[in-house]
Amino acid sequence: MTLIESEAKYIQPTYTRQPITLTRGSGARVWDAEGREYIDCIAGVAVNVCGHCHPKVVEAIRTQAETLIHTSNLYYTEPQIKLAEELIHLTGLDRIFFCNSGTEAVEAAMKLARRSTGKTDFIASENSFHGRTLGALSLTHTEKYRKPFEPLIPGVTFVRYDDAAAIAEAITPDTAAVVLEAVQGEGGIHIASAEYLREVREICDSNDILLILDEVQTGFGRTGAWFAYEHYGVKPDIMTMAKALGSGFPIGAMASREDLLFGRGEHGATFAGSPLACAAALATISVIKDEGLVERSRTLG
């Protein structure tokens, strides 16, 4: 039985794969089982910002794996605290919650918005994509992802993207937050206008509503800034990040304002912010800085 035949027999049929078995990668290139070389234009779906197997990231993972892999969050670990400090510096926000993926970061943002405001509802955009777990899927507009799992979480209103007036019209007394992508990826490359995000920020402030920006795909230099919202001079109340953060090692995070806090035990994750994941993320950020990748992205597009 070939590898592809084994996949068809043993793994849930959730992915449409290319008929290629990849065995190694380096920089922008990957190789298949027959030794054929490819330029990887997918980059792990917005993940491999440092390229495949960057030596500094590999070394950081190796060193940490030989020292301490996992402890749970019942103890303090240095890589987690260092990464939190780094992300606070980069985002300009105040508090970090670690998780393992982008959809988990969105779930955390939704829970924090409800917990902090006492309100239940959300406004999201048409053509949005925020993840596949139940809460994040409720914010995702694409019908093919939603339909098999309905009914989803109630209280989500979808409005036209890049239309601040539509957001203003959709607000109710139960609206906790507006959730947006500065650049829509899954729905097509739709880029928010500067006026739009600034107006949305003003609308949220005027109505005591939180602004959640999903930077899972756009974060860590992909738009020529560390985060896409920097281009607009707009600061979110809550922000989500993942994908490029760990160079392929699973890690996500939610950043928030100082006054938006969970209580002890109100949220958590067994593997969140593990020493190994945080070491990979710290090395990734270091490479982005040392090699000027944000500036390079800004110059080359």
Which domains are seen in the chain, by residue range? 3-41 (no CATH), 55-300 (3.40.640.10)
What DSSP element (H or E) covers 132?
none
pLDDT in tens, 172-203: 999 999 999 999 988 789 999 999 999 999 99
Q: Please pick, among 129, 220, 227, 249, the residue that the annotation labels catalytic.
A: 129
What is the Cα–Cα distance from 107 to 138, expressed in whole angstroms? 10
pLDDT in tens, 127-151: 999 999 999 999 999 999 999 999 9
Q: Please pick, among 214, 227, 237, 249, the residue that the annotation labels catalytic.
A: 214
Joined tokens for residue 225:
């800034």
pLDDT at position 136, please? 99
- Give catalytic status of residue 129 as yes or no: yes
Joined tokens for residue 281:
């993320």
- Residues of the chain below pLDDT 70: none
pLDDT at position 1, please? 87
What would you measure as the largest C-alpha separation in the chain, in angstroms?
62
What is the Cα–Cα distance from 122 to 152, expressed in whole angstroms? 13
pLDDT at position 186, please? 84
Q: What is the sign, positive or negative, of the torsion defined by CA atoms of 28, 56, 85, 263?
A: positive
Joined tokens for residue 55:
């030596």
**pTM of the complete model:** 0.96
pLDDT at position 188, please? 84
| Residues contacting residue 288 through CB under 8 Å, at least 6 positions apart | 49, 50, 220, 221, 294
Q: Please pick, among 97, 237, 243, 249, the residue that the annotation labels catalytic.
A: 243
| Residues contacting residue 32 through CB under 8 Å, at least 6 positions apart | 20, 21, 22, 23, 38
